[in-house]
């Protein structure tokens, strides 16, 4: 089925620039050549478009003087030379080159992987050891407990009247006082030790 | 310039031979400058943009991959420079402003100069009426001569969108010129 004139024109509008560019497949180029030979509306549309472009091209386009052009080229090239002497800029340039186009994606992916590894490494690392001063752990709990126990026993004996009677019976007054002094010394000794052990 | 000579000049530039850069660019000098001038509408700014383009081209030549055409690569740089300018100048509302070119008349041949300037003004006025994307496609195509597929790549737009912009641009310019003629 042949397209109507209107459909043909719309179709040509969509492809005219590719036709002018010679970018259409050969068969399509031939198709439009045939249509342009036979269709006046298409011919007019095509010529109007070309005339508009020609009119634009006819306009006196400004140009750069030869002297100014040479100056600008020299400036561009010399900027590069100064640029080459700068180590930091060279590194930046190298990185730009590395990450340019194809490398950009690879570079980005590599950067991402490195970042992930670093983050995981941080998580996997054992917690930093808590440095504890030796003296706070050097408690000697068993020894002190024994000593406290002895003091408790002594106090228990003293509190217990029977024990006191027994002790009076068994020990002389001096012995009793000596025993009391020993207990007192033990308590003081424990107090002193506890004060010396800072937490 | 032949393709072989151009490749040879590109190689020399890549090796740091600054003397090869001028001849390499000279082929595109007029196209490039007039393209930038369309955005600047002013010689001084166009020259700055031209210099910026050349500096970037020289610095980036080592990265230029010769699978793509050199002209496409060069105009892609110029396009980016122009777009930077557009972004900056849009704040100052200078982009594609309509200017009176009477001061540029060559009075040794005033009649032909007047006609040329009149046409230029009509074209300029028509371009002012285009949307930003339409202007970009139209001007890039007209000055660089590169194919629409390349323009689509440079502008990072689908080919169909670029072709549509071109269609609208041509229609608007045609209508603008018709109205001008009808008014006379």
Q: Which residue has the higher pLDDT, B75 or A129?
A: B75
Q: With an 8 Å Cβ cutoff, are B65 and A101 in contact?
A: yes
User: What CA–CA distance (Å, rounded) separates A86 from B59?
Assistant: 14
Tokens of A99: 């990450």
Position B101 scores a pLDDT of: 47
The secondary structure of chain B as a DSSP string is: --HHHHHHHHHHHHTT-GGGHHHHHHTTHHHHHHHHHHHH-SHHHHHHHHHHHHHHHHHHGGG--TTS-HHHHHHHHHHHHHHHHHHHHHHHT-TT-----GGG--TTSHHHHHHHHHHHHHHHHHHHTS-HHHHHHHHHHHHH---HHHHHHHHT--HHHHHHHHHHHHHHHHHHHHHHHHH-
Alpha-carbon torsion (A57, A61, A67, A71), positive or negative: negative
Mutate to test the interface with B, among A64, A92, A100 (most CBs of B within 10 A): A64
User: What CA–CA distance (Å, rounded) separates B58 from A77?
Assistant: 7
User: Do A40 and A92 have their domain in common?
Assistant: no
Position B168 scores a pLDDT of: 92
Residue A169: inside a domain, yes or no?
Answer: yes
Q: With an 8 Å Cβ cutoff, are B18 and A81 in contact?
A: yes
Residues of chain B found within 8 Å of residue A83, distances taken between Cβ atoms: 59
Q: What's the fold here for domain B98-184?
A: Arc Repressor Mutant, subunit A (1.10.10)
**Domain B1-97 listed as CATH 1.10.1740.10:** yes
Answer yes or no: is pLDDT of A178 > 80. Answer: no
User: Do A192 and A141 have their domain in common?
Assistant: yes
Q: Which residue has the higher pLDDT, A17 or A2?
A: A17
Domains of chain B by residue range: 1-97, 98-184
Asked if B149 is an interface residue toward chain A (Cβ–Cβ < 8 A), one would say yes
Position B134 scores a pLDDT of: 93
pLDDT digits (tens, 9 = 90+) for B87-119: 887 645 444 444 444 445 454 555 666 666 777
Position A7 scores a pLDDT of: 83
User: Do A120 and A165 have their domain in common?
Assistant: no
Asked if B82 is an interface residue toward chain A (Cβ–Cβ < 8 A), one would say no
User: What CA–CA distance (Å, rounded) separates B162 from B173?
Assistant: 16
Tokens of B146: 């590169």
User: Do A93 and A50 have their domain in common?
Assistant: no
As a whole number, the mean pLDDT across chain B is 82
Position B98 scores a pLDDT of: 46
Q: Which of A18, A56, A76 lies closest to B55 in CB terms?
A: A76
User: Do A143 and A96 have their domain in common?
Assistant: no
Residue A129: inside a domain, yes or no?
Answer: no
Chains A and B: how many Cβ contacts under 8 Å? Answer: 103
Number of structural domains (chain A) is 3
Of all residues in chain B, the percent with pLDDT exceeding 70 is 82
């Amino acid at each position: 089925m042949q397209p109507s004139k209107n459909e043909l024109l719309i179709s040509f509008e969509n492809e005219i620039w590719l036709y002018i560019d010679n970018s259409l497949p050969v068969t399509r180029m031939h198709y439009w050549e045939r249509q342009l030979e036979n269709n006046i509306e298409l011919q007019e549309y095509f010529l109007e478009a070309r005339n508009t472009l020609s009119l634009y091209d006819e306009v006196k386009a400004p140009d750069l003087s030869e002297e100014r052009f040479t100056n600008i080229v020299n400036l561009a090239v010399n900027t590069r030379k100064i640029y080459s002497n700068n180590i930091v800029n060279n590194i930046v340039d190298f990185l730009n080159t590395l990450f340019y186009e194809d490398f950009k994606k690879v570079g980005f992916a590599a950067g991402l992987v490195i970042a992930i590894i670093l983050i995981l490494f941080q998580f996997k690392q054992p917690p930093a050891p808590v440095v504890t001063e030796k003296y706070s752990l050097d408690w000697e709990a068993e020894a002190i407990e024994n000593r406290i126990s002895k003091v408790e026993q002594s106090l228990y004996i003293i509190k217990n009247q029977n024990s006191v009677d027994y002790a009076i019976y068994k020990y002389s007054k001096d012995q009793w006082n000596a025993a009391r002094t020993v207990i007192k010394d033990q308590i003081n000794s424990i107090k002193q030790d506890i004060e010396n052990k800072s937490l | 310039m032949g393709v072989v000579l151009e490749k040879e000049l590109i190689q020399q530039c890549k090796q740091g031979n600054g003397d090869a850069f001028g001849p390499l660019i000279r082929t595109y000098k007029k196209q490039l400058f007039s393209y930038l001038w369309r955005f600047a509408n002013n010689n001084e700014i166009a020259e700055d943009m031209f210099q910026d383009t050349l500096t970037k081209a020289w610095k980036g030549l080592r990265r230029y991959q010769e699978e793509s055409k050199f002209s496409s690569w060069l105009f892609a740089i110029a396009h980016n420079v122009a777009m930077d300018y557009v972004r900056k100048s849009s704040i100052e509302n200078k982009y594609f402003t309509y200017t009176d070119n009477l001061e540029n008349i060559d009075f040794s041949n005033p009649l032909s100069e007047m006609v040329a300037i009149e046409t230029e003004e009509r074209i300029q006025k028509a371009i002012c009426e285009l949307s930003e994307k339409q202007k970009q496609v139209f001007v890039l195509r007209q000055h660089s001569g590169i194919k629409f597929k390349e323009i689509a790549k440079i502008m990072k737009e689908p080919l169909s969108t670029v072709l549509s912009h071109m269609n609208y641009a041509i229609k608007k310019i045609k209508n603008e010129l018709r109205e001008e003629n009808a008014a006379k």
